[in-house]
Structures are given as structure tokens and as C-alpha cells.
Amino acid sequence: MSELLQLTGQHLLIVAIAVTIAIAAGVPLGTFAHRRRRLGGIALRITDVVQTIPSLAMFGFLIPLPLIGGIGARPAIVALVLYSLLPIVRSTLVGLDRVDANVREAATAMGMTDRQLLWGVELPLATPAIVAGIRIASVTAIGVATIAAAVGGGGLGTLIFRGVSMVDTRLILSGALPAALLAIAADLVLTQVERYFARRRGES
């Protein structure tokens, strides 16, 4: 039981670190994609391609790389960041695109600078969409993180891989079920956060 708790904690920690980094990189990247259509389109295309790399292969690719690769939690976090980036970048872009053109024009005509428009109007109005992206990224990352055990990343995948090698269904489930529950819990909590921001933004 204590091993289960420890692995669950490890699992959550890896995901939390990865999603935090992905937010820190993805929201600015999405904002950039909104302002600079062409360059932003390229960035989006790259995150798209990254998303299509099978996760087991991704961990394999990372093993020989210096600094970001190798064995352990570090390559696991790097891979999860890469997977989490796309939904966050895309939802930030969509959220900013959806801001009413009249509202944007009014803000500009009242003398807001670009920066004031972004921080005072566009990002607050895009927040529910951005949170939706964070929710999707988190749920995905919780699932993909089980594979991190293949490169020694720890987490609930450790139990699953051990169960697979021992052909022990109960052991597999002891890792898979908590992982699934974590994903469902993250989904429920972040859906509430999303609703909270949507209400504050004045949608419902």
C-alpha cells in the first residue's frame, strides 16, 4: 500500500511538473501564434507532428539525447511537456481568436496599448478556453505518464510494467486503476475551474 501511495505521488509530481512547464511555454506560444499568423502556424504544425509520435517511441528517442534525455524522471518530464504543449497552444490560440472583433476594436479605440489589450481584455476572455486546453493536456499526461516507467521514470506505470512481465493481471490493475481514477479526478476538477472562469468572464 505504501508503495502504491509513493508511486501515485511520483506519478502526480511528474505530471504536475510537466504540465506546469507546458503552460509556461504553451500560453506565450499560443499568444505568439495569434499575433504572428505565419510563424505561429509553423510552431503549431511542429507541436502537431510531435503529438503523432507514439509515446513509447518518444521515450526511446529521448534516451540517447544529452541533457534532456537519458533514463529516469527527466526524459519522462520532457516527453510529457512535448505532449502537453499542443492542446495548450491550440486552445490559447482558439480562445484569443474567439474574442469579439468589436470588443477588440472598442478597446483599441479607447486608447489601450497592445499590451493592455492582451492582458486586460484578450487573455481574461480566453481564460476558459486556455483552462480547457490545460484540462485535456493533464488528462493525456496522466495516461502517457504510465509509459514513463519504461525509461525508469517511476510512477504508476512501474506496477503495470511489473504486472505485464509477470503476467499478473491484478498487479497491472493495481497500477492502471489508480491512473484512470487520477485522470477522471483531474478532468472533474479542471472542468469546475473552467466553469468558474467562464462565469467570471460573463458567459453564463
Partner 1 sequence: MIEYRDVSVLRGGTAILDRVTLRIGKGERVAYLGRSGAGKTTALKVINGLIAPSSGDVVVDGTSIAQHALPELRRRIGYVLQQPALFPHRNVLDNIATVPRLLQWPEERIRAESERLLEQLELPPATFGARFPRMLSGGQQQRVAIARALIAHPEIVLCDEPFSALDPLIRAELQTLFRNATRDRAATTLVFVTHDVREALRIAERVIVFDAGRVVADTPADAFMNHQHPLVRRFVEA
For residue 42, which phi and psi values (nearest 5 degrees)? -65, -45
70 vs 124, beta carbon nearer partner 1: 124
Residues with Cβ within 8 Å of 4's Cβ and at least 6 positions away in sequence, in order, are 159, 174, 178
Q: How far is CA 158 from CA 20, 72, 77, 105, in A?
A: 23, 12, 15, 54
Q: How far is the CB of 101 from partner 1 (least distance, A)?
A: 9
Q: How far is the CB of 125 from partner 1 (least distance, A)?
A: 6
112 vs 171, beta carbon nearer partner 1: 112
36 vs 200, beta carbon nearer partner 1: 200
Which DSSP string do the residues of 125-168 spell out, in sequence order? Answer: HHHHHHHHHHHHHHHHHHHHGGGGGGGT--STHHHHHHHHHTT-
Instruction: Give yes or no for a contact between 81 and 18, defined as CB atoms under 8 angstroms apart.
Output: yes
Interface with partner 1 (CB under 8 A): 100, 102-103, 105-113, 116, 121, 124-125, 200-203
Q: How far is the CB of 112 from partner 1 (least distance, A)?
A: 7
54 vs 111, beta carbon nearer partner 1: 111
Q: How far is the CB of 195 from partner 1 (least distance, A)?
A: 15
